[in-house]
Amino acid sequence: MHALVSRADDPPATNYVLIHGLLVSASYMAPTARFLAGKNNVFVPNMLGHGKSDTPDRALDINEHATALAEFLKANHIDNPVLVGGSYGCNIAAELAANPQVNAQALILIGPTDVYGRAVLELLGDLIKDGLYEPSIMIPTVIGDVGRIGMDRCLAQLKFMAEHDMDDALLQITAPTLLIKGENDKLSREEVVRDKFEIAPNAQAVNVLGSAHCLTVSDPELIAEMILDFIEQANSSDVYRAA
């Protein structure tokens, strides 16, 4: 498993693990990772089958990705991590946070796409609609990553996402949780985020005005500031606001 890594010059430091989404690679989380680096240890793994990581014989489902990432954390001695998921990565991050051996410090869900029970064609339609609101830089990024991953694997992972109920994982975690969505996000719907806000423990939720789904690329500095602020005052809870 390949990863982008930045280690703090002066330990001890907080460990941030950024988990990318469905059609992309670690490059999707890199802009936000740069603003988290410096005083923190930051790890941005390419999930198996993505980026420069090895490719299994078949597409992995969400629980298998979470298991692989748990092994990555163990192998690299990454303790008490802040798990930051983006899009499909939110499902993986939630499963990872539910693993007591991971001992997550906090869970950050950016554009959570809990689409349990929805049709794959419907999800493809939402992806196309959301693309109208995203920065133009996402076009070559997605095209390049989809070419690397393969359309068959992308469709398989969309199916896995529709079969995964994030609520089961959220009900098992104890770490404080921050949910962030863009106002124009066509994949992370308002009712879904409010539902997760009610389920997750010690939760905060933020609606980023004027933005869409790919917040880690379109608004990286703002997202990093929100994450750092949340970690610094993680005892606050039950806040739902716009920014």
Q: How far is CA 21 from the centre of its chain?
A: 6
Q: Tell me the sheet residues that pair with 18.
A: 84
Helix %, strand %, coil % of the chain (to 5): 40, 15, 40
3-state class of 90 per DSSP? helix
- Tokens standing for residue 8: 């703090």
3-state class of 75 per DSSP? helix
What whole-number distance in Å separates Cα of residue 4 and Cα of residue 29? 10
Query: Beta-strand (E) ranges in the chain?
Result: 3-6, 15-19, 41-45, 82-86, 106-110, 177-182, 203-208, 239-242
pLDDT in tens, 148-195: 777 788 788 878 888 888 899 999 999 999 999 999 887 787 888 888
Q: Tell me the sheet residues that pair with 3.
A: 45
Nearest of 43, 44, 41 to residue 12 by alpha carbon: 41
Return the percentage of the chain with pLDDT > 90, whole number: 52
**Cβ neighbours of 179 (radius 10 Å):** 24
Confidence category of residue 240, pLDDT binned at 50, 70, 90: low
Q: What kind of fold does domain 3-242 have according to CATH?
A: Rossmann fold (3.40.50)
What mean pLDDT is predicted for residues 73-92?
A: 95
Could you tell me which residue, 78 or 139, shows the higher pLDDT? 78
Sign, Cα dihedral of 222, 211, 162, 25 = negative
What single-letter DSSP state applies at residue 189? -
What whole-number distance in Å separates Cα of residue 198 and Cα of residue 21? 23
What single-letter DSSP state applies at residue 18? E
User: pLDDT value at position 113?
Assistant: 78
User: pLDDT value at position 237?
Assistant: 55
pLDDT in tens, 96-150: 999 999 999 999 999 987 666 566 666 666 666 656 666 666 666 666 777 777 7
Q: How far is CA 58 from the centre of its chain?
A: 22
